[in-house]
Amino acid sequence: MNAVIQIMSADARQYVCGDNGWFAIGPLDEVFGARACRGIDLEGVKIGLFRVDDEIHALDDICTHGAALLSDGEFEGHEIECPLHAGLVDVRTGRALSAPISRDTRRHETKIEGDVLFVRMQA
Ligand code: FES
């Protein structure tokens, strides 16, 4: 029997897609609070948001190695450690940095207008 792993997001908020595919996520302080990373759901796609200094990076949140949310992992500098098997990903590039992760993680565009964060998903 195959086990079905379901990943639930703690964030049930609905984000609306605006002009040219950009989603308004919200003011940076509200989005992150005291955290440096968090996960959101954009039309069923789990997205991890990571703050590195003044830059915000957005990646697919589901680890390319298995069923875990990267944004639930340990985040230090520009590296996120997957909470399931401890593989590392560079949030600036999506590059897989260590085993068992071997495939890079898809990146998404971000921009900040005023203090509002926008994300545009890549195909
Ligand atoms: S599920 Fe992420 S390293 Fe295995």
pLDDT in tens, 34-79: 999 999 999 999 999 999 988 999 999 999 999 999 999 999 999 9
Considering the domain boundaries, does residue 10 fall inside one?
Answer: no
Considering the domain boundaries, does residue 25 fall inside one?
Answer: yes
Considering the domain boundaries, does residue 71 fall inside one?
Answer: yes
| Domains contained in the chain, number | 1
pLDDT for the residue 77: 96
pLDDT for the residue 53: 86
pLDDT in tens, 67-110: 999 999 999 999 999 999 999 999 999 999 999 999 999 999 99
Considering the domain boundaries, does residue 8 fall inside one?
Answer: no
Ligand 1 atom nearest the C-alpha of 83 is: 2
Considering the domain boundaries, does residue 42 fall inside one?
Answer: yes
Q: Reading across the β-sheet that carries 74-76, which strands appear in turn? A: 74-76, 79-81, 88-90
Report residue 71: phi and psi, to 5°: -65, -10
Considering the domain boundaries, does residue 36 fall inside one?
Answer: yes
73 lines ligand 1 (CB under 6 A): no
Considering the domain boundaries, does residue 2 fall inside one?
Answer: no
The residue range of the domain holding 76 is: 19-120
Q: Domain containing 103 — which CATH number?
A: 2.102.10.10
Q: Mean of the per-residue pLDDT values for the chain?
A: 91
27 lines ligand 1 (CB under 6 A): no
pLDDT for the residue 101: 98
